[in-house]
Amino acid sequence: MPREKTLARRERPEMEVYEPWNTFRDMERMFRDFFTSPFPLLRARQWLMPESRLEIMPDVDLRETEKELILSATLPGLEKDDIDINVTDDRITISGERKSEEEKPEEIYHVRQQRYGLCRVSYDLPTVVKPEDVKATYHNGILEVHMPKAEVAEEHKVKVEVKD
């Protein structure tokens, strides 16, 4: 039987490293894809899941060093002026919009997987930060936000004597 030709083909490495968190990432990706399916009748309606109209869900890493929290988010196709970052002392919200390209009647799409639309994600931060000192860079579709940790007052122990 002749082999079927495909438009795209992914080669898998002979040996993959097992990472336990990949299972959760795959589940999240499957759940996200289910609600943003290319089949309009299967797409979640706004009344069913209000957040489903958000078509872009960035992959996010939030890591911590001794002095700061660093959030990295993939936002391909967005212009830096279309990204808004709001940081409070214990929460970060990133929002933006990727504007769709105008379809040309003389062009026929054989595959169309790029997503356009709104993006909005919020995360509770694991520690208090200084919002006024936050710095962000955006390069090659990667947003990186550096949030310095706030000074935490040291705990002072005081011995209280109880008198009868």
Q: What is the per-residue pLDDT across 111-134, written as a single tens digit (0 to 9) for each?
A: 877 777 888 889 999 999 999 999
pLDDT over threshold 50, residue 54: no
157 or 60: which leads in pLDDT: 60
Q: Backbone phi, then psi, for 133, in 5-degree steps?
A: -110, 10
Q: Cα–Cα distance between 118 and 56 in angstroms, integer?
A: 6
55 with 44: CB under 8 angstroms? no
Segments making up each domain of the chain, as ranges: 18-53, 54-100+115-151
SS3 144: strand
The sign of the dihedral angle between the CA atoms of 131, 136, 65, 86 is: positive
Nearest residue to 51 (alpha-carbon basis) of 35, 28, 31: 35
Q: How many CB atoms lie within 10 A of CB 54?
A: 17
- Single-letter amino acid code for the residue at 131: P
- Single-letter amino acid code for the residue at 72: S
Tokens of 133: 């000192």
Kindly indicate whether the domain formed by 54-100+115-151 is annotated with CATH number 2.60.40.790: yes
140 or 17: which leads in pLDDT: 140
pLDDT over threshold 60, residue 81: yes
pTM greater than 0.75 (yes/no): no
Q: What is the pLDDT of residues 71-80, one digit of tens each?
A: 999 998 888 9
